[in-house]
Amino acid sequence: MINPTVEALLVLQERDVRVTALSAELEDSPEQIAAVDAELAAKQAKFEEIKNRTRLIEADRKKIDLDVQSKQAAIARYRSQQQTTRKNEEFAALNHEIEHTEKEISALEDQELELMEAYDKGLATVALGQKELAQAQEKAKLKKAELEKRAAVVAADMAAAKEKQAEAEKAVPEEAASRYRRILKSKKDVAIVPIHSGACGGCHMKLTSQTVLSAKGAEALVACENCGRLVYWLE
């Protein structure tokens, strides 16, 4: 036989567990939504970095291009100086400068070609990144909508669960209810547990035969001598 207070407490405990689980889920929800936002922001930042890197390649190429232009202008200057000089030595020195500058231009143009190739690759990476980012944005939007919908369902379930919890609480005599609440507060998980093979279902310590007998008799509430949880005899 089972004590009617125990029976009422078991119903209350079941509903308490449900309310606790729902509130844990509700508490998690904003964090999960924030995690989706953070993941997307990280992807966005990575994409911006790729875009910047590509932009820098083009900026470098433009700088080199300006350099080439100024060296070409220098060659033009040397040539016009050659036309006005009458000294062979000076003419030869200018020739030497022209050759040297032409070599520099050629090296710079090689660099420019490399940068152009790198820029093309960069543009392709940016285009791909843009596509992937758009997909990630869409995915994040759906995930957030799903999480928000779930949170609304949980909130509704919570309202119903709290009503049932209050109902169950009313069915428990006041003194037993406050004892149960005290134990639950200190144990966090459950306050009333079945006896399994003569041991407490909460802390698993062996109960005295007197405690087991009292629980079997089901005349009053019986507690585990070790953890203080209420114990009941499971037929």
Q: Do residues 170 and 210 make contact, with C-beta atoms less than 8 angstroms apart?
A: no
Q: Which is nearer to Zn ion, 171 or 203 (CB)?
A: 203
Q: Does 207 bind Zn ion (CB under 5 A)?
A: no
Among 200, 221, 222, 230, binds Zn ion (CB under 5 A): 200
Q: Which is nearer to Zn ion, 126 or 190 (CB)?
A: 190
Q: Does 195 bind Zn ion (CB under 5 A)?
A: no
Q: What is the DSSP letter of 206?
A: B
Q: Report the C-alpha gap between 113 and 71 in whole angstroms.
A: 17
Exposure string of 129-159, with b = 16+ CB inside 10 Å and e = fewer, is beeebeebeeebeebbeebeeebeebeebbe
Minimal distance, residue 224 CB to Zn ion, in Å: 3
Site string for Zn ion, 26-55 (x = CB under 5 A): ------------------------------
Q: Does 202 bind Zn ion (CB under 5 A)?
A: yes
Q: Does 190 bind Zn ion (CB under 5 A)?
A: no
Helix (H) or strand (E) holding 232: strand 230-232
Q: Which is nearer to Zn ion, 64 or 203 (CB)?
A: 203
Q: Do residues 54 and 122 make contact, with C-beta atoms less than 8 angstroms apart?
A: yes
Number of residues that bind Zn ion (CB under 5 A): 6
Q: Do residues 199 and 207 make contact, with C-beta atoms less than 8 angstroms apart?
A: yes
What one-letter code names the amino acid at 11?
A: V
Among 224, 230, 232, 233, binds Zn ion (CB under 5 A): 224
By the criterion CB under 5 A, which residues form the site for Zn ion? Answer: 200, 202-203, 224, 226-227
